[in-house]
Amino acid sequence: MSGFSGSYDPADVTFLLTPLDLPVMTVAEKEALLRAGQRHYSEVLSAEAPPSEAYLAAYRAALAANGARLAGHIKALAAALAQRTCSPAGLALTSFARAGTPVGVLLRRELARLSVAVTHYSVSIVRDRGIDPAALEHVLARHAPGDVVFLDGWTGKGTISRELRGSPDLLRLGVEPFLVVVADPGGQAELAATGEDYLIPSGILNGIVSGLVSRSAIVPELRPGQFHACRVLHELAGQDLSRSFVDQIDALVEALPPAAPAVWTPDERAARGRACTRLVERMLAEHALSDVNRIKPGLAEATRAVLRRQPRALLVSGPQDDGALDHLLLLCGERSVPVTRVDDLEGYCAVAILD
């Protein structure tokens, strides 16, 4: 097994996934199976529709508003990662498909400009199922355990970071669960550029900004030792923005002067972690829920919940005139998801509530 690059330049990433012709269903069909407990969410994929022109306009507005900010964060994170000591094999950026992949592409390019030996892999990690052990072993056949850093775009309430820290495969292979993200409103990452829940443009799209790769899946068709599965979204090739997005942000990164390394202090991380805990506990109580997985905090997590699920409600907070919520309000209007504005979401801009 050697992986593939999706719609990215092969130099930018190797997806350690197994492309299969997996069946897809409607969101309603998926919701029925999940709510009945008949399938785990990693076993089912819903079809991804091309975004409307209005939604693409919201994406372009987000890119114009926050592209430079994201570029600065990439520059600072790369400066911090360049300080790590690695084996001669170089740094092994190991991003989580899909949200971490564009971040990994951008960091790989900037680290290469800093003359850091680096390879970027994108792997599957699944709630309740863990990180793909075959993918980890593939990376460690080429790198020392200390070369590996894990990447994601942001944190929500910390589900995936806890999955990473609790992985028996990391312990078995001697890999530190060192997680790097752009934005860490959940207070879960070892390194972040900010704790603010801000609109990262790639966070509001699905496969068309992540190499035309579907969410990863664990299905019976996989043979022992194969990487977790995915669909390649050939049907969306005409709408693909994967290279366009990273090329636009990378041009901004390259034009910036050298940056001070990003610093994410234990105090900052702990403060965001406490705020996240308060929010989750409040949402459980206010919405009579017992399952924390029904709560999707943060702009990107809430967006993906509306894109891929059928939320009971969307709660929003913060300024009404900065454009950060435009895409979400548009989506909720298209999908008939009720929206409620609240005064305080503990620093998050949005929370989606699932049934």
270 and 208, same structural domain? Answer: no
User: Quick check: bond before 98 cis, omega within 30?
Assistant: yes
Q: How confident is the model at residue 3 (pLDDT cuts 50, 70, 90)?
A: confident
DSSP class of 25: B
Boundary residue ending a domain (208, 235, 255): 255
Note the pLDDT of residue 25.
80
Full domain range(s) for residue 162: 14-255
> What is the reported pTM?
0.95
For residues 212 and 7, the answer to whether their CB atoms sit within 8 Å is yes
Query: Looking at the domain assignment, is residue 159 inside a domain?
Result: yes
- Average pLDDT (80-99) is 96
184 and 144, same structural domain? Answer: yes
Query: Looking at the domain assignment, is residue 303 inside a domain?
Result: yes
Query: Looking at the domain assignment, is residue 2 inside a domain?
Result: no
Note the pLDDT of residue 321.
66
Boundary residue ending a domain (201, 226, 255): 255
Q: Which residues contact 102 (CB under 8 A, 6 or more apart)?
A: 153, 202, 209, 210, 242, 245, 246, 249
Query: Looking at the domain assignment, is residue 260 inside a domain?
Result: no
278 and 248, same structural domain? Answer: no
For residues 243 and 8, the answer to whether their CB atoms sit within 8 Å is yes
Number of domains forming the structure of the chain: 2
CA distance 259 to 69: 13
CA distance 86 to 145: 9
168 and 67, same structural domain? Answer: yes
Question: Is residue 137 pLDDT above 80, yes or no?
Answer: yes
Note the pLDDT of residue 320.
66
Query: Looking at the domain assignment, is residue 91 inside a domain?
Result: yes
142 and 57, same structural domain? Answer: yes
300 and 176, same structural domain? Answer: no
96 and 19, same structural domain? Answer: yes
Query: Looking at the domain assignment, is residue 1 inside a domain?
Result: no
Query: Looking at the domain assignment, is residue 261 inside a domain?
Result: no
290 and 234, same structural domain? Answer: no
Q: What is the dihedral of CA 307, 149, 253, 350, to 10 degrees?
A: 30
CA distance 342 to 325: 13
Query: Looking at the domain assignment, is residue 9 inside a domain?
Result: no
> CA dist 301 to 52, 152, 200, Å?
20, 12, 11
250 and 190, same structural domain? Answer: yes
Choice between 342 and 1, residue whose per-residue pLDDT is larger: 342
Residue 283: give its domain's CATH number: 3.30.1330.30
Q: Is the dihedral of CA 156, 157, 163, 166 positive or negative?
A: positive
Opening angle at CA 45, ends 187 and 15, nearest 5: 65
Query: Per residue in 43-62, pLDDT tens?
Result: 888 889 899 999 999 999 99
Q: Pairing relation of β-strands 229-230 and 350-353?
A: unpaired
148 and 195, same structural domain? Answer: yes
204 and 60, same structural domain? Answer: yes
Query: Per residue in 154-197, pLDDT tens?
Result: 999 999 999 999 999 999 999 999 999 999 999 999 999 999 99
Note the pLDDT of residue 44.
83
Boundary residue ending a domain (255, 274, 297): 255
Query: Per residue in 300-350, pLDDT tens?
Result: 999 999 988 889 999 999 876 678 899 999 999 999 999 999 999 999 999
- Average pLDDT (232-254) is 98
**Which secondary structure element, helix H or strand E, spans residue 75, and what is its range?**
helix 53-81
281 and 213, same structural domain? Answer: no
